[in-house]
Amino acid sequence: MVVGPEAEVEVVVLALPPRPEVVSVARLVVGALAAADPSFDDERGADLRLAVSEACTNAIQAQLGRPAGPSHDAPIELRFEVGPGCIELAVSDHGGGFDPDRLESHPAVTDPARLEYEGGLGIPLIRLLADELEFRAADGGTTVVMTFGPRVSTGRVVS
C-alpha cells in the first residue's frame, strides 16, 4: 500500500487588542494567506478579507460593549488554518456570547423600513461568503469558525 504524504496544514495564530484599528491587520494577514495559495484567486481573497473584517468587527464590538474589566480588554484571537485548497478562520472573543438563532431579522432591502437598520448585515454576509460557518460558545465568549474553499457558489444574495 502506498501512502501519500500528509497534506500540509499551516497554522497561524494572532492575538490582537480589541480595538477598531486592528481589523485592517486581520484583513492584511488573511489576504496574504489567500494570495499564497494559487487556488484562491483575487476575488476569493476579497471574500476572505470581507468575512474576517465582519467577524473581527463583531468580536471587538462585543467586547467593547462590556463593562471595563478583563473581558473588555482581553485580546481577540484569530486562528488561521491554511491547508491545500482550504482556509479555516476562527475568531474568538470574550464578549459574553450570543445566540446566532436569535439575531433580529430585518425587513427586505427593498422595503423602505430597511433604512431604519444600519447594522445587522455582518453575519448574513459571512454566511454568504463562507462555505461553512459555525458559532461555538467558548469560555465567556464566542468563537466564529469560517471555512473557505477556493470558490463560492455564485448567485447567492443576502436574504
Partner 1 sequence: MDLRLELSEQGGWSVLLVGGEVDVATAPRLREQLIKLVNDQRFQIVVDLGGVDFIDSTGLGVLIGALKRVRTQGGELALVCTERRILKVFEITGLDRVFRIGGTVEEAMAG
| Residues that bind partner 1 in the complex, under the rule CB under 8 A | 20-21, 23-24, 27, 43, 46, 49-50, 53-54, 57, 60-61, 108-110, 114-119, 121-122, 124-125, 128, 156-158
Write out the three cell numbers for 29. 494577514
For the CB of residue 134, give the shortest distance to partner 1 in the complex, in Å: 20
The residue ranges of DSSP E strands in the chain, in sequence order, are: 10-16, 76-83, 86-92, 132-138, 141-148
Between 7 and 153, whose beta carbon lies closer to partner 1? 153
Contact 45, 34 (CB under 8 A): yes
Least spacing, CB of residue 11 vs partner 1, in Å: 25
CA gyration radius for the chain? 17
6 versus 153: smaller Cβ distance to partner 1: 153
Exposed, middle or buried: residue 115 (CB in 10 Å: 0-12, 13-18, 19+)?
A: exposed
Min dist. Cβ of residue 28 to partner 1 (A) = 10
CB of 88 to partner 1, least distance (A): 20
| Nearest approach, Cβ of residue 7 and partner 1 (Å) | 30
Residue 99, burial from CB neighbour count under 10 angstroms (0-12, 13-18, 19+): exposed
Question: If 0-12 CB within 10 Å is exposed, 13-18 middle and 19+ buried, where does residue 110 land?
Answer: exposed
Q: Which residue's CB is nearer to partner 1, number 96 or number 120?
A: 120
Q: Which is nearer to partner 1, 11 or 35 (CB)?
A: 35
Is 7 or 108 the residue whose CB approaches partner 1 more closely? 108
